[in-house]
């Protein structure tokens, strides 16, 4: 099995070197490059086509959110994980809308970062606990419940699909959704597939983005 290839993007040399040492110490990951600004990140993403990019937000020339947007527009298969000190709502939702598949804070420990890399490489969306709570609070404010606001926003979804969508926005995996709803894993996969098809999205992150574009403004 090929190791997960990772591009490290951060304008702090010591932080990049620490991440590279961590990745190169494990057989399942390999650092294929480093960039100190958004422009270099875009160019190296195009050159190396890594599986994962660990992306800072505040950088010279082009910031991490704009770099993510440009990379996602040309290489949507690359999983971008924001690794930053910023945890305000504007930064979080801007990163998600730009195409980021994960959002971690820099004080996360090594295991959290490695688990995020593994998860995003396998097609999941990952957020650090504090960020996940922000997303949960936001979507709860939208009244996403089987009989609530989501029913009017997404009339094409069945009641069960709305329930599954709510759990997706709260960060639950398919296995966890199956356990909470007392369904088989296959049934949940079918519901998720139907949701993606009806919302015309490709993955869980895009489903969250779609939900955030319901016309209800953020505070």
Domains, the chain, in order of start with CATH, read 4-127 (3.40.50.2300), 142-212 (1.10.10.10)
Question: Model's pTM, two decimal places?
Answer: 0.66
Q: What is the pLDDT along the chain (219 residues), one digit of tens a residue?
A: 789 999 999 999 999 999 999 999 999 999 999 999 999 999 999 999 999 999 999 999 999 999 999 999 999 999 999 999 887 777 888 888 888 988 998 888 888 899 899 989 988 888 877 777 666 666 555 544 444 444 456 677 788 888 888 888 777 788 889 998 999 989 999 999 888 888 777 777 777 776 655 432 233
For 126, phi then psi, to 5°, come to -135, 135
b/e 7-46 (16+ beta carbons within 10 angstroms → b): bbbbbeeeebeebbebbeeeeebbbbbbbbbbbbbbebbe
Angle at 128 between CA 194 and CA 181, to 5 degrees: 35
pLDDT of the residue at 124? 82
pLDDT of the residue at 141? 58
C-alpha to C-alpha distance for 145 and 190, rounded to whole angstroms = 20
Closest C-alpha to 113, from 12, 202, 174, 25: 25
Interacting residues of 19 by C-beta distance below 8 A, sequence separation 6+: 8, 10, 31, 54, 113
């Amino acid at each position: 099995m090929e190791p997960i290839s990772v591009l490290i993007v951060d304008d702090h040399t010591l932080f990049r070197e620490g991440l590279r040492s961590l990745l190169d110490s494990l057989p399942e990951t390999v650092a294929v490059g480093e960039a100190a600004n958004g422009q270099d990140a875009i160019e190296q993403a195009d050159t190396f086509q890594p599986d994962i990019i660990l992306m800072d937000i505040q950088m010279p020339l082009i910031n991490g959110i704009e770099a993510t947007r440009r990379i996602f527009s040309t290489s949507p298969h690359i999983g971008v994980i924001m690794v930053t000190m910023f945890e305000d709502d504007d930064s979080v939702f801007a990163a998600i809308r730009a195409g980021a598949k994960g959002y971690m804070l820099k004080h996360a420990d090594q295991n959290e970062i490695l688990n995020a890399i593994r998860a995003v490489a396998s097609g999941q969306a990952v957020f650090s606990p504090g960020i996940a709570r922000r997303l949960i609070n936001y979507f709860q404010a939208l009244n996403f419940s089987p009989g609530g606001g989501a029913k009017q926003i997404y009339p094409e979804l069945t009641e069960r699909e709305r329930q599954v969508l709510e759990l997706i926005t709260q960060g639950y995996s398919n296995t966890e959704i199956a356990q909470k709803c007392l369904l088989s894993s296959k049934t949940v996969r079918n519901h998720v597939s139907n949701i993606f098809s009806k919302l015309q999205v490709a993955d869980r992150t895009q489903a969250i983005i779609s939900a955030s574009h319901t016309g209800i403004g953020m505070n």
